[in-house]
Amino acid sequence: MAEDGFVDISAEQDGGLMKKVLVEGSSDETPTPGSNVSVHYVGTLLSDGSKFDSSRDRPGTFKFDVGVGNVIKGWDVGICTMKKGEKSILRCRHDFAYGEHGSPPKIPPEATLNFEVELFSWKEKLKEPYEMTLKERIEFAMKMKDKGTDAFKKQDWASAVEAYDEGQRYITFGQGSESGGHGQGHSHAHSHSHGDEPCSGHGDEEEETEAGLSEEDKKLAIALLTNCAMARLKAGEPELAKFDCTKALEFDADNVKAYFRRASAKLALGELDAAKEDAQKAFELDPKNTEAEALVKKADLRKKQLKQKEKDMCSKMFG
């Protein structure tokens, strides 16, 4: 009979790999084989409880590709059953651990081991953009947009940035100045604003352009870039937000959202004249955009305040 709380998770159901959950995870998802996982672990001998290894004694978490034979079988199988944030004990019989001979001097032959494992996060193994077809890159980019929007709604800015940025990296692969981007042709493809909400990148499908992306796919790229910029602004990364907006404008030179968010980034960086210029452009393209109008006034006010501050300092120095 299994010890209290332990469940047999071995395929053979012969007690070779037992698991006891100490802290439940925060989602229903588990790592797939090949995922790069980040864990902490403490390894002890079942026989006497002595510790033979612990990642907690070293800086940082332990990261590795799970389910591909890089670690003991008990980990490859057991960690793929764990959820994010879960802490469990994996009890590994010798054939799920270090075998008949053990790992001298700390692990004796045929030793059953307990591993207290905490799973922090993982990243699925992905093909690089150049290994995918255009269709595969588009599908992946759409998945990342949805993931980013879910994170944004939870105000998890870092996760939103990571998802949006990964999506735009795949959808824009092979695009740019050499391949005909820069918003030529249908420059008003997505010039309207949705305020402070992530954009879905919607629109009717059109024929693929010479650059390889259809107008629909360009809209997806723009949505990912401008959404990423918005998340970066929330996360306090205005310089990178500015870069994302500039890249979005390569696909649509009259994109209101890109101009407005770049203006917001420049304002945060203290680039007041440039911020005002971008905000004015956004307002010209969309005269109903009260946020852009307000940003123009804010840049003017900030500039006036700086001049007054300089004037006061000069008065103190030479008055």
Active site residues: 41, 52-53, 72, 98, 115
Q: Report the C-alpha gap between 81 and 37 in whole angstroms.
A: 12
CA torsion, ordered 79, 87, 25, 142, to nearest 10 deg: -40
Nearest to 234 by CA among 315, 316, 156, 136: 156
* N residues, the chain: 319
Scan for tokens 């009259």, then name that residue.
254
For strands 51-54 and 36-45, give the pairing: antiparallel
Task: Report the largest interatomic distance among the alpha carbons of the chain, rounded to a whole angstrom.
Answer: 89
**Contacts of 239 by beta carbon, 8 Å cutoff, 6+ apart:** 265, 269
By the 8 A CB rule, do 164 and 227 touch?
A: yes
Q: DSSP letter string over 63-122? A: EEETTSSSS-HHHHHHGGGPPTT-EEEEEE-GGGTTTTT-BTTTB-TT--EEEEEEEEEE
Residue type (1 letter), 10? S
Give the tokens for residue 223. Answer: 């949505």
Q: CA of 63: how far to CAs of 30, 119, 226, 270, in Å? A: 16, 10, 32, 40
